[in-house]
A and B are shown apart, each in its own frame.
Chain A
Amino acid sequence: MFRTGVARWTMTYFGAAFVSFAVAQALIALGLAYPSAPLFAPWTFVAVHLITIGWLTVLILGALRQFVPVITATQPEGDAVAGWALVAIDIGLLAMVAGFVALGGNVPWAASPWLPLGGALVIAGVVADTVIIARPIWRTRPLPLPARFVAAALAFLWVTVLLGLCLALAVARPGTLPPDRVARLLVDGLPLHLLAGIGGWFTLTAMGVGYKLLAMFTLAPEHRGALGDWSFRLSAGGLALAAVAGCVTIAAPAGGAAGPAVLVLERAGWLAAAVGVALYLVDMRKLYAERRRRELELNGRFAAWALVALGAGLALLVAAALAGQGTGWAGPLGYVFLFGWLSGLSLSQLYKIVPFLTWLERFGSKLGKGPVPRVQDLVDEPRARPWFVLYFAAVGVGAATGFAGLDGAWRACSVLSLAASLAIGRELWRIRHSPPPPAAPSVPRG
């Protein structure tokens, strides 16, 4: 019999993640980080790592603690490990922030100890978390489709953090490696770090989680058939191919080139991954069309907006590749993926997951003993909806101004997205801390 409980620490992960998200957006809104500062400026590094490690990685790890037992029908495990892992990741992140700030000078400490130390702590936390998340996945093979996405994503997470540690060493202790190797790491390793992180870790996880959660919440068929299978094979396989080719390029003999065959493999990997993501979008459209719950709740409605952002990001990525704009469009493109797709999906699903877990904590044991509210009674969708609209509108307009080179307007949009995020955070806080709603007079009795 499968009876999954509530994972301890998941809410703490969410809270810690949200703080990083707000601080990162504040750095952008205040003009300290990109687009007001260069893409490779110290404060931009701070903002980027607050978003990628502090917000998305911590949020996803916390969510997977609860989500993997759902897709593998097992109990959450490793509660004590999860608590210490969060401490390690967040202290490591703070150390990395100190290191990045030191890169810009004007502070009385050096970057060299803080970046590798922080990176090592982040890796320790991530390794601990991935072990307790991966164990039930390993035990429940053959895996259902969402779990296959998550398993592949966890592998990419390790690639991402190991490459990140190499980059931190190259920046903080350039003497550790030969100069041409450092240069190659910075030129070819950074795109690979982004590919593994945004494409492999974040996007594959979001795709797998989306398949399960959106099918559950919209009452759509969970079995996705060949379209889902091919979406996984092409997206995960393509990204893996591109990552291997990238690693071969970095590892090529000093002064030599990796050769045209490696370049062809890398491009084939990118193409396959793009086709895989496109198939996923087609399948999600099918899922929405087949759903039985015709009136969507807020999370289902705005998840669709995030999927639109994924589609837009994919189209722009292909356009950038065709136009040779890979570097020039990197900032706005990253913004579309990180803020439109990943953060948009995260915020919309938090608006369902937080009340659901809150309901379990507060009312679960009262079920059957008297009237209890529904999960939906804990939220106030009309009050929250405008903030979600503002968030997605600000990110959409912000991305457009970014591609147009209007950095001032882009920064103004980031002020609006920050305001919307904080308002959504306040809604989540209210869900957790408001007095209990009236006990379900609205529960339909059939």
Chain B
Amino acid sequence: MSEAERGTTEDKVAELREALREVIDPELGYNVVDLGLIYGIRVEDGRAEIVMTMTTPGCPAAAYIEEGVRQRALAVDGIRDVDVAVVWMPPWSPDMMSDEAKRHFGFA
């Protein structure tokens, strides 16, 4: 991959990450990116692979959040296909939140 292509891909990952800030965990009322639920994003040839988790296994909102992430990612310009993988390792903890989210919940 050339430097120019790498730069374009990193820009697209950043764009996706920003877009996913519009998807919330409904119970916590905060976006999934700053909650630390998005473990990784990879973009290649218009295909996005998103690895994420939930605050707790068995959460009834899990399917909706996963689908919400997929739908929002698909709406990003240049993304034609999205694969969302929900994983449970490492388990999520509040320490994974961004500093701003930690401040919002009162522990930073």
Taking A2-B58, A368-B71 as contacts, is the C-beta distance between A443 and B64 under 8 angstroms?
no
B29, A375: Cβ atoms closer than 8 Å = yes
- The answer, among A3, A292, A359, A377, for a CB contact under 8 Å with B63, is A3
B41 contacts partner chain A, Cβ-Cβ < 8 Å: no
Chain B residues whose CB sits within 8 angstroms of the CB of A2 once the complex forms: 57-58, 62, 88
Q: How far is the CA of A445 from the CA of B101 in the complex (A)?
A: 9
A73 contacts partner chain B, Cβ-Cβ < 8 Å: yes
Q: How far is the CA of A144 from the CA of B80 in the complex (A)?
A: 41
A177 contacts partner chain B, Cβ-Cβ < 8 Å: no
B60 contacts partner chain A, Cβ-Cβ < 8 Å: yes
B55, A216: Cβ atoms closer than 8 Å = yes
Q: How far is the CA of A363 from the CA of B24 in the complex (A)?
A: 11
Q: Mark B49-82, 1 if CB is under 8 A from A, else 0.
A: 0000001111111111111111110010000000
B47 contacts partner chain A, Cβ-Cβ < 8 Å: no
B31, A443: Cβ atoms closer than 8 Å = yes
Q: Which of A64-72, A162-170, A201-209, A242-250 contacts B (4 or more CB under 8 A)?
A: A64-72
Chain B residues whose CB sits within 8 angstroms of the CB of A371 once the complex forms: 22
Interface residues on A, range: 35 or more
Q: How far is the CA of A286 from the CA of B41 in the complex (A)?
A: 37
B62, A4: Cβ atoms closer than 8 Å = yes
A375, B60: Cβ atoms closer than 8 Å = no
A367, B106: Cβ atoms closer than 8 Å = no
Q: How far is the CA of A13 from the CA of B75 in the complex (A)?
A: 39
A364 contacts partner chain B, Cβ-Cβ < 8 Å: yes
A446, B100: Cβ atoms closer than 8 Å = yes
A292, B60: Cβ atoms closer than 8 Å = no
Q: How far is the CA of A293 from the CA of B28 in the complex (A)?
A: 10
Q: Mark A363-378, 1 if CB is under 8 A from B, else 0.
A: 1110111011011110
B27 contacts partner chain A, Cβ-Cβ < 8 Å: yes
A4, B67: Cβ atoms closer than 8 Å = no
- The answer, among A71, A216, A376, for a CB contact under 8 Å with B29, is A376
Some 24 contacts from A to B, beta carbons below 8 A apart, are A2-B57, A2-B62, A3-B66, A4-B58, A4-B62, A4-B63, A5-B60, A66-B60, A216-B27, A292-B94, A292-B107, A293-B106, A295-B105, A356-B60, A357-B60, A368-B70, A369-B72, A440-B24, A443-B24, A445-B21, A445-B22, A446-B21, A446-B34, A446-B98
Q: Which residues of A contact B (CB under 8 A)?
A: 1-6, 66, 69-74, 216-217, 219, 222, 292-295, 356-357, 359-360, 363-365, 367-369, 371-372, 374-377, 440, 443-446
Known: A3-B62, A368-B23, A374-B24. 9 other contacts (CB 8 A): A6-B60, A69-B60, A294-B106, A295-B105, A360-B61, A368-B72, A368-B75, A375-B29, A446-B21
